[in-house]
Structure 1
Amino acid sequence: MIFGVDYYPEHWNRDEWESQAKLMQKGGFNTVRMGEFAWKLFEKKEGEFDFSFLDDAIEILAEYGIKTILGTPTAAPPKWLADKYDIVQRDKYGRKKDWGSRREGCGNNPSYIEKSKIITEKMAEHYKDNPNVIAWQIDNEFGCHGSTRCYCEHCRKAFAKWLEERYQTIENLNEKWGSVFWSLNYDSFDDIILPKYNSCEGTYGDLWSHNPALDLEFRRFSSDTWVNYQKMQIDILRKYTDNPITHNLMGHFSDINAYDLSKDLDFVSWDNYPDNQWGTSEYEYVSMAHENMRGAKNKNFVVMEEQAGPAGWDILGSTPRPNQLRLWTYQAIAHGCEGVVYFRFRTALFGMEQYWYGVLDHDGVPRRRFYEIQKTGHELQKLEKYIVGSKNKYDALLVKSYDNVWGHDIKRHAQNYNYENHLYSFYKANCDLNINTAVSNGKYEDYKIVYMPAYNIVTDAETEKIKEYVKNGGTLVLTFRSGTRDEYNRVRPMALPGVFKKIAGIEAVEFDSLRKPVKIYGEVSGSAEIWCDIIKPDTAKTICTYGSEYYKGESAVTVNKYGKGRVYYVGCDLDNDAMKELVRIIAKSANVETVDTPNGVEVVKQDDCIIILNHNENEVDTNIKGVSLFDGSEFDGVLDGYGVQFLEGSI
């Protein structure tokens, strides 16, 4: 399996490369990723190419048993390119994003596209027969720094063409968009605008103030821009090599549709930083990100950048505690990772990421973090047969829809509402009950329970697919703000919850965007703080009711039998404890096993083993015993702080 580091030989004197390669070998590393930010070194002047420094680095590393994943360098265009061709993006205020960082290139700029083709082809041709290059990474972190959406004239023209292919006639677009509102009808596709800063924006704070259909389509188009840009590079590489191709995605980042972006890749990789200057992630949030990345292609993945030290740009996050780096590695493994690359080998002495610490500090001396990762690598070698090709046993599916990410951002419903946080509340509850839960848009029939929180933008075809799943015996969980919009972001002329009204067996006759919490009572007790649907059951049974406001005693959560299955409708947000208890009820009704463990203990069930992770800094008794795959000893259930255990068999 891949066990590697991200490496930047251009940051170090050549006389240090061999000693660094020796240290990598000592650390047990067998792979590096490099080259993704070196365009200027490869093409110092337009049309003059020189890969000699990278050739030397690849050769030295190979002498110590280390293979290379090569990154195409298009995330960091050189200054000559920006100066001569003006390839940089414009923001929604019309301001030029000047050169001087990374990801400033516009994916619809003809010059940027052409020069990207050339550098990709030159690299592919140069390295096509190099046996030490084992894979390719396209670009780096599409979508970071808000770089997905550009508002330049190139993008406007490309957007107009994209819309014309989609709608065929301008009359059809006007009708689907409801352009008659505010006299926004277009006479031709040449008239199409981008959702730039306009007269309403800023009047009432942070407000999207364009036609919701325009906003949604522009986000789809912007995502497609980078999918197509990536495909352009993949097609070039495929002319020269059969080596696998990936891109390092970004977990929960949702400006680009990960399902579309992953379609053309051989495998997904992503960059995992659980604790950096912007905050510490709950372990369940990190696990959900891993599942989101596994679900992008519904297959195992690689972590291309795994946190190896304290991380930040201008200030530092916390220093990983002893055994925490090992724990994070095994957490990734538990959720489908079958290769890990730590960022980075040695911490940079200059540039923006001087504070983004790697395996080694600035002085290059191995210390605690190096030896902890070294130990982890040795363990992974012994466990490789349980890792590469591993399969998790999933009982539940959490459906993440990028149309709904964007749609809920455009129309947010309530001040504190966030669709992705809403999804996470369900994932967290399942994770805390140790129910293996996939995050994807996969085949519903593969799961006993399908969670579709706030699935608001829904096509007629999707509606039929969902109905069939329930009819055939599946358990579906819906929530408030579901089923009311079509694919053009128009509100359907239907009572709430729209297309789901019949299968949910209810009608939401009113709703309340909350100014103060409302208590919930029944089989689950807790509180809502954001939203309450006032539900009138038709064929559904009431599980919980409201405890205050004018709708005191009205239904808050219901369940309805439909065909051989059932549909739960959760009409309000719930606090963590209440959500956990509701998920327990849903799991029991679907014959899904829950595993109760102390807080902070995660249990993941795979085909051949059980992985137990203690995210607490203190020792805990997990109440799970078995034979350890680390050394064949009997595991008594007690895990050290940040401890990990692999056990034979299943619970």
Structure 2
Amino acid sequence: QIDLPQHSQWGMNLYQRLDHSRFCDYETANFLDEQAKTISKIASPKQWVTTNYIPSYDVRYIGNSKALDFITYTRYMVYGEHQGIGPKGYRVGEYSRIAMANDYIRPLSPLYGVMELQPGQVNWGTVNSQPIPGAVRLWLWHVFAGDSKFTCTYRFRAPIYGFEQYHAGILGSDGVTPTHGGLEFQEFIKEIKLLRKNQATGKVPAEYLKRKTAVLYDPDNTVAINQNKQTTAWNTEEHVLKYYKALKGFGAPVDFIRDTMDFSKYPVVVVPAYQQMSRTLIAKLTDYVNKGGNLVLSARSGHQDEQGHLWEARHAEPIYPLIGAEIEFYDLLQPSAPDTVAMDGKQFAWTSWGDVLKPTGATKTWGTYEGDFYAGKAAVTFRTLGKGTVTYVGPDSNTGDLEQAVLTKLYAQLSIPVENYPPGVIVEYRDGFGIAMNYSDKPYEVKIPAGAEVLIGNPTLATAGVVVWKIKK
């Protein structure tokens, strides 16, 4: 028998809590497998079996039910919790929510789709605002741009009784009149049919592929960190987003990968706050770099082994040969007294976590700490190793500006061409089509590649606007 931990009680054994949460997630995955196997015994061989996940990045069961034919996710964008960009951004939603869900789910399944995409106003949020006209169509295009194979919605007809009263559907409560969202679904369907009549070559710009980037991620790390944050200022998902949003601003195609996957097809692998590392993973990362890969590690990486135990060694010592530096100590500031990191003549504020580095050998210092007893010590380091490079970013900046500056400098040094899209503008390619979308509160002029043919929309994107073009050669 297992003595179940009281997760909310102070002083409970952290590893008992961690193991219990692992057990619960594995059981969830196993239950889904059992259901899928049972259905498959009596269903037609042509009938697929799946489930829809809420894209939570602190659970391990997503992608771990192997009896499913593929996986799907659910996404609602306007329900009072996300302010978006600008005073009315809450009517469009936070632009990274569909982007990151696409990039997180896609590598875990042979194909994926969205089982529930918000069709309009909902009834269960904190503030159930109307989405801006065009928002539902924008979300549909964003899901498609991530290489989804289908999109469904909840629900077809707005309910007239029960818990879901006031929840929009494709049709209104009379069962015959299309809602605003229903009309946008209809418009999207017509536009997809237009793409089918204009099949593209399947090719994408070479510059787009050159900046393909992986984010190495394990939700077990997030669970472990979140139950022992060390500071109220730390937010694991927001830390990851600081790197992810910078990459999407570059126009980079991004995959969230696991440590069992192939690293070699990615010119750059970003490893944010990867607290638990096995020696096998450290060796795999070292091999990736030696063969020409470019690795970026951030704060709180390599502090523990894969079981969540601190190394019986100096702090994070097993990663020292990889990063070309020692982590002398870490610091956590009071939210009322942030400090700064200096890099290339600019200052970047930080508060929640800072690994203080001591470069060894030929490792270069890119950024240094300011304002405290360790002023002048290394905050950001860079080294070459074999045919590749390793960058370590010690602090978690307050706004993500340091993370963006480090990635910008690195990609320039590696001669990887990047874009400079403003927050809220997303550009993706699939099947030879380019798709640009605007979640921001300002118009944006999209630069259409030479020789491309615009099929849908126009390059001047208003809020919730979409433009689609075809690569001809």
TM range (shorter): 0.7 to 0.9
Cα distance between partner residues in 2 of 1:486 and 1:330: 41
Matched, 1:318 2:129: yes
Higher gyration radius (CA) = 1
**Equivalent of 1:546 in 366, 369, 388:** 369
Is the CA contact 2:297–2:392 (under 8 Å) kept in the aligned structure 1? yes
* Deviation of the 1:253 alpha carbon: 4.7
**Equivalent of 1:270 in 69, 73, 90:** 73
Compute the RMSD of aligned alpha carbons.
2.5
Cα distance between partner residues in 1 of 2:465 and 2:440: 8
Name the residue aligned to 1:194. 4
* Deviation of the 1:314 alpha carbon: 6.1
Taking a change above 3 Å as real, the CA distance of residues 580 and 256 of structure 1, as seen in their structure-2 partners, is same
3-state DSSP of counterpart to 1:435: coil
Q: Aligned pairs, how many?
A: 447
Name the residue aligned to 2:287. 468
**Equivalent of 2:412 in 561, 568, 588:** 588
Is the CA contact 1:618–1:642 (under 8 Å) kept in the aligned structure 2? no
User: Which 5+ residue runs of structure 1 have no aligned equivalent?
Assistant: 1-189, 202-206
Name the residue aligned to 2:341. 520
Superposed, 1:106-185 pairs within 5 Å as none
3-state DSSP of counterpart to 1:586: helix
Name the residue aligned to 1:532. 354
Cα distance between partner residues in 1 of 2:271 and 2:310: 19
Q: What amino acid sits opposite 2:217 in the alignment?
A: K
Q: What amino acid sits opposite 2:357 in the alignment?
A: I
Per mean C-alpha deviation after superposition, the further-off stretch among 375-384 and 613-622 is: 613-622
Taking a change above 3 Å as real, the CA distance of residues 343 and 255 of structure 1, as seen in their structure-2 partners, is same
* Deviation of the 1:483 alpha carbon: 0.8
* Deviation of the 1:617 alpha carbon: 4.6
Matched, 1:382 2:194: yes
Name the residue aligned to 1:288. 100
Is the CA contact 1:559–1:569 (under 8 Å) kept in the aligned structure 2? yes
Name the residue aligned to 1:357. 168
Q: What amino acid sits opposite 1:584 in the alignment?
A: T
Q: What is the TM-score of this pair, normalised by structure 1?
A: 0.65
Name the residue aligned to 2:298. 479
Cα distance between partner residues in 2 of 1:305 and 1:311: 12
Per mean C-alpha deviation after superposition, the further-off stretch among 522-531 and 504-513 is: 522-531
Matched, 1:328 2:139: yes
Matched, 1:372 2:219: no
Cα distance between partner residues in 1 of 2:199 and 2:149: 9
Q: Deviations over 1:520-555 (max 9, x none)?
A: 112363111211222111132101111211111111
More helix by share: 1
Cα distance between partner residues in 2 of 1:358 and 1:636: 29
* Deviation of the 1:616 alpha carbon: 2.9
**Equivalent of 1:227 in 29, 33, 40:** 29
Name the residue aligned to 2:255. 438
3-state DSSP of counterpart to 1:603: strand
* Deviation of the 1:459 alpha carbon: 1.6
Cα distance between partner residues in 1 of 2:80 and 2:157: 19
- Higher RCO (C-alpha 8 Å, min separation 6): 2
Cα distance between partner residues in 2 of 1:314 and 1:535: 44
Q: What is the TM-score of this pair, normalised by structure 2?
A: 0.88
User: Which 5+ residue runs of structure 2 have no aligned equivalent?
Assistant: 84-92
3-state DSSP of counterpart to 2:168: coil
Cα distance between partner residues in 1 of 2:438 and 2:324: 42
Name the residue aligned to 1:504. 323
3-state DSSP of counterpart to 1:568: strand
Name the residue aligned to 1:20. none
Taking a change above 3 Å as real, the CA distance of residues 576 and 310 of structure 1, as seen in their structure-2 partners, is same
Name the residue aligned to 2:432. 608
Cα distance between partner residues in 2 of 1:650 and 1:459: 46
Determine what percentage of the aligned residue pairs are the same residue. Answer: 26
* Deviation of the 1:317 alpha carbon: 2.6
Name the residue aligned to 1:238. 40
Q: What amino acid sits opposite 1:405 in the alignment?
A: T
Q: What amino acid sits opposite 2:252 in the alignment?
A: I
3-state DSSP of counterpart to 1:465: helix
